[in-house]
Structures are given as C-alpha cells and as structure tokens.
Amino acid sequence: MKQTIDALPLTKAIADVLTALGVKADNPAYSTGLTWGGQEGRTRKEIFSPADGNFIAAVTMATAEDYDLVVKQAQEAFKVWRKMPAPKRGEIVRQIGNKLREHKEALGKLVSYEMGKILQEGLGEVQEMIDICDFAVGLSRQLHGLTMHSERPEHRMYEQYHPLGIVGVISAFNFPVAVWSWNAMLAAVCGDVVLWKPSEKTPLTAIACQHILREVLLENELPEGVFNLVIGDAEIGSLMAHDTRIPLVSATGSTRMGKKVGEAVGARLGKSLLELGGNNAIIITEHADIEMALRAVVFGAVGTCGQRCTSTRRLIVHEQVYDQVKERLLKIYPSLPIGHPLSDTTLVGPLIDKDAVQAFQAALEAVQQEGGKVLIGGEVLSGDAYATGTYVKPAIVEAQNDYHMVQEETFAPILYLIRYTGDVENAIELQNGVRQGLSSAIFSTNLLQTEAFLSHWGSDCGIANVNIGTSGAEIGGAFGGEKETGGGRESGSDAWKVYMRRQTNTINFGKQLPLAQGIKFDIMD
C-alpha cells in the first residue's frame, strides 16, 4: 500500500537519511502496494522527534477498508511464497540482510532520531536485523521434523512442519524495527507472509524498512504482499487480533495491551506470541565483582532512557556491599551525559514523549508516598538543549520490593535500590516476587550462589544471566518471559516452530492394514 509522506525533517541531515532509504517528500512512500494516502476520510498523523521537537513527517493512517485490502493482498502472496523451497526463501532473506548492511548507518540514524535512543543503540538495532537475517538464512535449511518408529509392521512415522499463512506483527516504539525483524525473517523462511502494524509513534522507520524489502522482492519478481505494512492506531491492532484470516498474532507491548490481544486471539482459537512487560532485577551478592556489576546496572537502568522491556528496574543488593554500591552509583549518575541522541558524547537520550515524562514523574511521586526515598535524579531538564520537555535525569530510589510502584513496570529510567539480608535464596525470592518474568541477572563469583540462581528453584524469568546485565540479548537464544510477560519466545533457538503448524504423518508401505494398539476390526470375509 502506498502512503504519502510529506514535510521532511527541518534538518538536511535527516532529509538525506530518508532519501537514502528511498523515502522522499515528492514521492509516495511505499507501504503495501495499494494507494490510499491523502484520500478523504483518512487521518494524517504528525510525527515529531523527541530529540529536538522538530516535525519530521506526516503519515496517513489506514482505515478498516484499507486493512482488508492489505490482508487480501497478503493471502494472494502466500499462495506463491509457500510453494517456494525454504532455502530459496532463505536466499531472499539473505539479500534483505545485505540491503540492510548497505543502509545500516542511514537507518540507524533514523531509528535514533525518530525514537530517541542514542545512535550507538540505533545502529545496534539495525545490526540485530542483520543478525536475524543471517540466522534465518541458516535456518532455512534446518526446518526439521522427527522420524519415529511405528508399532505397526511396514509402517513409517514422521513429523513435518508447514507454514501457517499470514503472521500478524504488532511492534512497540522502543524497538521500532528489530523485534519486527525477529518475527518477520523467521516467518518468511518458514513460508509465511507478514502483516506488520508498527507503533504509531515510530512509523517512519517501518516505512523505510518496507522500501528496502520491496526493492528485494521486485528484483526477484516476487509478489509485494510477502511483506505488508499498515500504519494505524489501536483499531488496526484490534482488527488483526480478531481476524480469523491471521492464524498467528505476535504482539509486543504492555501487559494491558497483551491481555486484550491474547483474549481476542484466544476467543477465535488462534495462536498468539506475546512479549509484554518486564520488571527486571539484578542481584548483587556479597561475592560480586562490584565494578563489573555497576557497568551492567547503569547500562541496564539508563540505556534507551529506561525504555527497554529488559531495562533494569530493581537492584537487589546484599547488606554487606549495599552502602558501597549505593555510594558508587551516586557518584556515577551525576556524570551521565544527557542530550541529543545523535551526539557522539550522549549516553542518555530523551523519553519518547511528554506522556512518558508524566508517567515518570507520577511514579516517583507515588513511590515516595509509599515510603520510598529518591536519592538522585527525577528532574525534567530545561533550557535550549532540552526544550522538548522529554529529557529527564535518571532516578535512583531506595525502596521495598512490595511497594505498589515497585511491583509495576514504569517505562522510564527509575532504578529501585533494595537491600537484602541472609543468603542468596532471600534475594531470589525478592527477584521472583513480581508479576512479570522477563529478564533477570545475578552478579557473584560464588558458584553455589550462581547455580542456585539458575536452578529450577531459582529465577522464574525467561532470561537468567550470570555476571551479565538484564539488557542486551543476542539473537541466537530464544527471547521471552513468563508470568505476565506473556510466555512467548522470539528470535533464536527453536522459536521458529511457533510460525509453523506441526503435522504427524504415517505411511503404510505394506499390503496389510494393522491397527494401532493391536485392535481387531475385521469387516472382510
């Protein structure tokens, strides 16, 4: 679907970035192959950068009728794509990865400018897309089933996997392209086609990616509907969740949103892959390498300005080293460079918008009412360099694990400092004592402590790290969490299986028809 993009950024640098990615002010930005931009009855949404407040572009939002046209296009493309051998599909994904390599710098800048994460993180997000392409290429030759021995003579049994059809992907603003690619590239080599609804806060990076994908598809004379994009609000997400034509919906976002998606998909007996909230903790024991732990804590707490699902939100520290850790953090935080995300010296960029700032302030007020003590930070920065009102000072709060606000996920740079006493099992109990279960970490040089953390009575999260922080997962491992995090798995390992349907096959190569379990059912003389 083609979609109009107008009023490019006020800075020539960002205009050049969009031009390099194929998005031009005087040409429709490709979205899915049908024209609906600029027509009556369609809402235009203006996109402003949280970095400097500049108006970047306006995009046309899809209607329910537009959505239906896209789904029909995807259905037709699936008829072609599913018949292509998996290694051939992998070849297409390989070409996509190469295109992303060519545009890495430009796309990384756009991610940074539109979302607000620092440039290093923007480039890292594009690298994640490249990495998952490489992973998917190898996977395309390994979509293996199992062969089993039959109890019946002259019979053979095996399992094989088939593509599902259309995979719907609903992505969040904090990783505007990487998490979509985890789903899209694996689904593609599995033989599925993809329908993507990105966050309405970061549509430009999605449109830029769609340009890159379209170029590869056209070069290979493939239908454009293999990868589909619809820019819309929550109504489009609801349509996807309720649509029986979409057998799998993968949704990343808040637990509240995920529950709605899960209920709607479950009501029609569809499949859902949910990556929802995180309330991640790092345990620092009395045997930790403190300096190593501090580096992980700071990156986990303030990276992406605390807007990662894997951000470190709770720091559970043994009483023997509590004061030492607290003192070191209070020295580090004032020196954190906060500023424009495209600056080489910046380590902390802005929050996504003023609503996020209000949530940040409200959480700090609420936790103080419960008895929490703000040790540092919490201010909204002002002045010419921070005129957007989206820059804040990361906060550290002394708190108790059972405080209501500590139990909640606030998508902002708030680190709750929690003291524990006794053995590591007490720390693990605190770590597990929240409704979310995404990422967790322990810093200790004591083997007994680390093994307890990794045992079946240890961390209850989908990700458990030793002497590594909560943030920064590699694509080779399956990514996801438990409890209110949703239970889904994306990216590496055997996560590909969710994008396919499993089929058990039994072949009789004999001349008799024996039944399983030795049942006799003779109807012939």
Residue 463: pLDDT over 90: yes
Determine the topology of domain 280-475 in CATH: Aldehyde Dehydrogenase; Chain A, domain 2 (3.40.309)
Give the per-residue pLDDT at 525.
Answer: 60
In this prediction, residue 302 carries a pLDDT of: 98
pLDDT at 33: 31
Domain boundaries, the chain: 82-276+491-501, 280-475
* C-beta neighbour count of 110 within 10 angstroms: 29
Grade residue 92 by pLDDT with cuts at 50, 70 and 90. Answer: very high
pLDDT of residue 473: 84
Q: What is the mean pLDDT of the chain?
A: 92
With cut-offs at 50, 70 and 90, classify the pLDDT of residue 289: very high
| Residues 205/21, Cβ–Cβ less than 8 Å | no
Q: How confident is the model over 6-56, as pLDDT tens digits?
A: 333 334 556 666 666 666 554 333 333 333 344 566 788 889 999 999 888
Residue partners of 75: CB distance under 8 A and separation at least 6: 165, 166, 225, 245
How far is Cα 350 from Cα 393, in angstroms, rounded to an integer?
A: 10
Q: Which tens digits make up the pLDDT trace of 340-377? A: 999 999 999 999 999 999 999 999 999 999 999 999 99
The per-residue pLDDT for 57 is 82
Residues 414-436, mean pLDDT to the nearest whole number = 98
pLDDT of residue 9: 39
- Is there a contact between 296 and 441 (Cβ–Cβ < 8 Å)? yes
Residue 5 has pLDDT above 50, yes or no: no
Strands laid side by side in the 227-229 sheet: 227-229, 193-197, 166-170, 248-252, 271-275
User: Residue 160 carries which DSSP code?
Assistant: E
Q: What is the pLDDT of residue 56?
A: 85
Residue type, 321: V
pLDDT at 252 over 90: yes
Class of residue 373 by CB neighbours under 10 A (exposed 0-12, middle 13-18, buried 19+)? exposed
Quick one: pLDDT at residue 21?
A: 67
List pLDDT tens digits, range 153-196: 999 999 999 999 999 999 999 999 999 999 999 999 999 999 99
- What's the pLDDT tens digit per position in 207-247? 999 989 999 999 999 999 999 999 999 999 999 999 999 99
Among 15-24, 71-80, 349-358, 508-517, the least confident range: 15-24
Which tops the pLDDT comparison, 415 or 56?
415
Give the gyration radius of the chain's Cα atoms: 25
Cα 341 to Cα 348: distance, rounded to the nearest angstrom: 7
Instruction: Report yes or no on whether pTM surpasses 0.85.
Output: yes
DSSP calls for 422-451 = SSHHHHHHHHH-SSEESEEEEE-S-HHHHH
Name the CATH superfamily housing domain 82-276+491-501.
Aldehyde Dehydrogenase; Chain A, domain 1 (3.40.605.10)
Whether 90 and 189 have beta carbons less than 8 Å apart is answered as: yes
| pLDDT (0 to 100) of residue 24 | 56
Phi, psi of 179 (to 5 degrees): -65, -35
Confidence of residue 58 (pLDDT cuts 50, 70, 90): confident
- Between CA 61 and CA 43 the distance in angstroms is 5
24-28, 512-516, 517-521: least confidently modelled range: 24-28
pLDDT in tens, 103-129: 999 999 999 999 999 999 999 999 999
Q: From CA 397, how far away is CA 415, in angstroms rounded?
A: 6
- pLDDT given for residue 17 in this prediction: 65
The pLDDT, as a whole number, for residue 6 is: 39
Write out the catalytic residue numbers.
275, 309
Q: Using pLDDT thresholds of 50, 70 and 90, give the confidence band for residue 59.
A: confident
Question: Do the beta carbons of residue 209 and residue 215 sit within 8 Å?
Answer: no
Q: How confident is the model over 301-323, as pLDDT tens digits? A: 999 999 999 999 999 999 999 99
Nearest residue to 419 via CA among 446, 439, 397, 450: 397
Residue 25's identity, in one-letter code, is: A
438 token code pair = 């995404």
